[in-house]
Structure 1
Amino acid sequence: MNTEAKLTLVGAGPGDPELITLKGLKAIQSAAVILYDALINEALLDHAHPTCLKVFVGKRAGHHYKQQGEINEMIVGYARAMGHVVRLKGGDPFVFGRGHEEMEYVSSHGIPSTYIPGISSALSVPGLAGIPITKRLINESFMVVTGTLKDGSLSKDIKAAAQSNTTAIILMGINKLDQIIEIFKNERGGNEPIALIQQGSLPQEKSVFGTLSAISDLQKNAQIAAPAIIIIGQVVKEKIEQKSYLINQKFQTT
């Protein structure tokens, strides 16, 4: 194991442990210490060296086991004392993951750092659920937006997304779903397609697909909660039509 003080920031992907990169896996295998978040799949920790110290520093839906300042100090302390620290974060650490802040902090203390990208849930979870985030002749762009800012308020970019024809992918917004629905209904109408996907890529994944007018009831009935992503746009219609086709086929063959 490498005893040189350094940080490797590793994106763990959307949840399925097989969706981590080979480079990320090699970093885990060589780590002296792993600081890991709540959203990573703990099966990844099984790949660590037997002597590796594994420390949970998770944050979920506003409940922080460790504050960000504490995590920064822990990275520096462990790197100086034990060598190679892997900071294992869900999705991609540069997509609303505060990963770059951690790299800046350790760099200011003279410790080198490396970034290993992960597969962001914003890009992968819709596709795994059968929703293309872009499709020719349907949309020309997509926007990834955080639903909740540091102070708990709704991001102003939500309205900007609603006013365009883009596919809107909203992370950390399920607790503000009613506000988001109203903004999009005002701009796009109640028939705009929407999908909610909880714990995407995992066996316990739950999802609902519908329109802005119907989605609140669907969410309550399915009990969709964080961690979940919201996808709004005409590309979701592809999934809704596919499900209708499968249901019709079922009735035709019975």
Structure 2
Amino acid sequence: MPHEAYTLSLPVAGRRVVVVGAGAAGTRITRRLLAAGAAVLVVAPDASPEVRAAASAGLLDWVARPYRSGDAADAWLVHAATGSPEVDALVASDAERVGTWCVVEPPPHDRTTAAPGRASGRVALVGGGPGAADMITVRGLALLTEADVVVVDRLAPRTLLDDLSPDVEIVDVGKSAGDHPVPQHEINAVLVDRALAGKRVVRLKGGDPYVFGRGGEEHDACVGAGVPVEVVPGVTSAVSVPAAAGIPVTHRGLARGFSVLTGHDDAGRVPTSGDHTLVLLMGLARLERTCAELIARGHDPHCPAAVIEDGFGPRQRTTVATLATIAARAREMGVRPPAVAVVGDVVRRSPAWACAVEPALALAGAPAYRAEDRA
């Protein structure tokens, strides 16, 4: 019975790593090793322009000839990526003989079309988490590495695509506010068509497929076409992005529940007390109108509010204010999507609240907002 692959991370900084092969796969591996600080030796009779440039710049050593037994004798790690099963097997055998770690790049996937009437393909709806590459689940990553086709969203962890085999088809269907270049029915068709052609398809999404991800529609399209489909949950930004800003969506004594809405939903239907957290996804454009609706429906205008932009990304930033002022404050700070808004007493747990709002309220002579003052 076949066993699942065992994955692990190795600290390669400062260690000698030999890469045998400098085609598309070898170049991709070399790029990652250099970024990790490894001392790289490439052995290949020819090399990609990227590897040649790195060698010319002194970033790595390149031996311009075919592999010979002994080339990896003093290596801490070896990567075999020639595309030749015979050569890669020789590299692996040599490494095993001297007790050196060795990774053999798998050959390109067989992308031939399945025989008519035999749908051997499948679809996996994979939640990629809030955007950081290391927030995807183990199951999601395993399916991604096996994929023949990846249909990817704008907010998915796109850096993971750099690690895929060069023969993997990438279909970009990213959407942004007011810009949906690929309609949902066409996305459904891509999933079904590729799977019916025998491909292993991963629909890589940001967050969780079933939290405002239209995963249910894609699931139904696959089932309706007779395509096997698996749903792999992801870490939703509705919970993880506030957490990254120090805001739990529930907290004993502060919040007993929470609601998640998009900026297009009727926010007036949620409980109005500050001990019920409201999380708004994709709501930056309508933030001012949403806040006005909440206040008109009974929310305290002094209730704490926050907007976290680019959660887990390089420009993550938290802007805090009250419900009555958060929209103006976000506009003043130049907040840009993607952003998650949070309204409720739990916002007071954010370090940004203690640093910015409470001193400002005290300076203005306004009473501090206290959760225990709720009616």
Give the TM-score normalised by structure 1: 0.89
Equivalent in the alignment of 1:116: 232
Equivalent in the alignment of 1:252: none
d(CA) in 1 for partners of 2:228, 2:129:
23
d(CA) in 2 for partners of 1:162, 1:218:
24
Is the contact made by 1:2 and 1:30 (CA closer than 8 Å) also made in structure 2?
no
3-state SS in 2 of match to 1:231 = strand
Equivalent in the alignment of 2:76: none
Give how far 1:82 is off.
4.4
Q: Is 1:176–2:286 an aligned residue pair?
A: yes
Q: Which runs of 5+ in 1 are unaligned?
A: 149-154, 248-254
d(CA) in 1 for partners of 2:286, 2:333:
17
Equivalent in the alignment of 1:152: none
The worse-fitting range, judged by mean Cα deviation, of 88-97 and 235-244 is: 235-244
The worse-fitting range, judged by mean Cα deviation, of 202-211 and 28-37 is: 202-211
Give how far 1:177 is off.
0.7
Task: Kindly name which structure, 1 or 2, has the bigger radius of gyration based on alpha carbons.
Answer: 2
Q: Could you tell me which of 299, 304, 324 is aligned with 1:213?
A: 324
Give the TM-score normalised by structure 2: 0.61
d(CA) in 1 for partners of 2:192, 2:338:
29
3-state SS in 1 of match to 2:314 = coil
Please identify runs of 4+ aligned residues in structure 1 that moved more than 4 A: none
RMSD: 1.9
Is the contact made by 2:127 and 2:235 (CA closer than 8 Å) also made in structure 1?
yes
More relative contact order, 1 or 2 (CA 8 Å, 6+ apart): 1
The worse-fitting range, judged by mean Cα deviation, of 47-56 and 10-19 is: 47-56
Cα-to-partner distance string for 1:53-100 (whole Å, 9 max, x where unaligned): 111011111211200111111111111224100000110010000011
Provide the aligned length of Structure 1 versus Structure 2: 240
Give 1:1-254 correspondences, 5 Å limit: 1=109, 4-148=120-264, 155-156=265-266, 158-164=267-273, 165-186=275-296, 187-239=298-350, 240-243=352-355
Is the contact made by 1:14 and 1:200 (CA closer than 8 Å) also made in structure 2?
yes
Q: Which letter maps to 1:217?
A: A
Sequence identity, in percent?
36
3-state SS in 2 of match to 1:29 = helix
Is the contact made by 2:239 and 2:248 (CA closer than 8 Å) also made in structure 1?
no
Q: Which letter maps to 2:341?
A: I
Give how far 1:103 is off.
1.1
3-state SS in 1 of match to 2:227 = coil
Is the contact made by 2:126 and 2:231 (CA closer than 8 Å) also made in structure 1?
yes
Is the contact made by 2:129 and 2:136 (CA closer than 8 Å) also made in structure 1?
yes
Distance 1:72 1:244, change over 3 A: closer
Q: Which runs of 5+ in 2 are unaligned?
A: 1-108, 112-119, 360-375
Give how far 1:244 is off.
5.5
Q: Which letter maps to 2:276?
A: T
d(CA) in 1 for partners of 2:250, 2:355:
19
d(CA) in 2 for partners of 1:108, 1:241:
49
Equivalent in the alignment of 2:16: none
d(CA) in 1 for partners of 2:285, 2:356:
28
Is the contact made by 1:134 and 1:235 (CA closer than 8 Å) also made in structure 2?
yes
Is the contact made by 1:2 and 1:84 (CA closer than 8 Å) also made in structure 2?
no
Cα-to-partner distance string for 1:19-73 (whole Å, 9 max, x where unaligned): 1111111111000000001111310112323321111011111211200111111
Answer 1 or 2: which has greater helix percent.
1
